[in-house]
Amino acid sequence: MGKTLRVVVSGMAGVGKTAILEQLIHGNITPSTELYPTIEDIYVASVETDRGTREKMRLYDTAGLPPLSGPNAAVNSVQQQQQQQLAKQLLGLTEGYVLVYDPARPESFECLLPLKRDIDKNRDKKEVAIVILANRIKSSNTNYSTSPGGGVTAPANMTVTSSLNKANNWAVREHMKHYEVNAMERASLLEPFVYLATKLSPPPNKSSFPQLSMVRKSISSRPDTAS
């Protein structure tokens, strides 16, 4: 196990960031588990790479971002800019980001767009690894979603499909990995974090020193100076 890998987890409030981390590390989250809004928290995990090595990962669970659309959009935009300062402060210390959204809530995907631009703007030339998690928090039992005023809007399955398609296309353009997960299913969370651990801990370069056998051969081929 080499250096500690530092990863920031961010996204809109209520999309399940803390639930994902609790489930990934402790496996103790159920639909009845009560979670509280996060201000800032740190989790430490030992994650296996696809090469079979284990890496220590420090995960920074950040406060949820406010939605950028709706009646409080102007205020929320200011709040989001303030909360993004955390990402800027951690940028020099972190190598990876996990951006989380709920595909049933399109506004949660919208929050990720300025966040990604902010990461790119402030990372200078530093390479970072980013994964996008579509957290399917709830399985809808109805065919239509409702607006805050109670009116029927677009079919819920169409909203989810549209969000997933937008996120997939965005991830391809920005060279990021996009995964569909469910915070209630721990198995669905493993692949993105294994990818991050593998991406952030590349195998060491082969030594440029001559092989030991070659050194021995060179020594053994010397003329015997003792005779």
Name the least confident of 54-58, 107-111, 130-134, 223-227.
223-227
The alpha carbon of 100 is separated from its chain's Cα centroid by a whole number of angstroms, namely 7
Neighbouring-strand partners of residue 178: 132
Domains of the chain by range and CATH?
A: 4-200 (3.40.50.300)
pLDDT confidence of residue 68: 67
**pLDDT above 70: residue 52:** yes
> What number is the average pLDDT over the span 78-95?
61
pLDDT confidence of residue 66: 77
Parallel, antiparallel or unpaired: strands 54-62 and 40-48: antiparallel
> What number is the average pLDDT over the span 81-103?
74
In contact, 57 and 21? CB cutoff 8 Å:
no
Give me the DSSP letters along 12-69: BTTSSHHHHHHHHHT----TT------SEEEEEEEEE-TTS-EEEEEEEEEPPBPPSS
DSSP tag of 104 = T
In contact, 72 and 79? CB cutoff 8 Å:
no
The torsion angles phi and psi of 136, rounded to 5 degrees, stand at: -80, 85
Q: How confident is the model at residue 44 (pLDDT cuts 50, 70, 90)?
A: very high
**pLDDT above 90: residue 56:** yes
pLDDT confidence of residue 203: 80
DSSP tag of 201 = S
pLDDT confidence of residue 142: 38
Rg (CA), the chain: 23
Parallel, antiparallel or unpaired: strands 129-135 and 144-146: unpaired
Q: What percentage of residues in the chain have a pLDDT greater than 70?
A: 69
Query: Cα(208)–Cα(25) distance, rounded to whole angstroms?
Result: 39
pLDDT confidence of residue 125: 74
Which tens digit of pLDDT belongs to each residue from 133-177?
A: 999 876 443 343 444 444 444 556 888 999 999 999 999 999 999
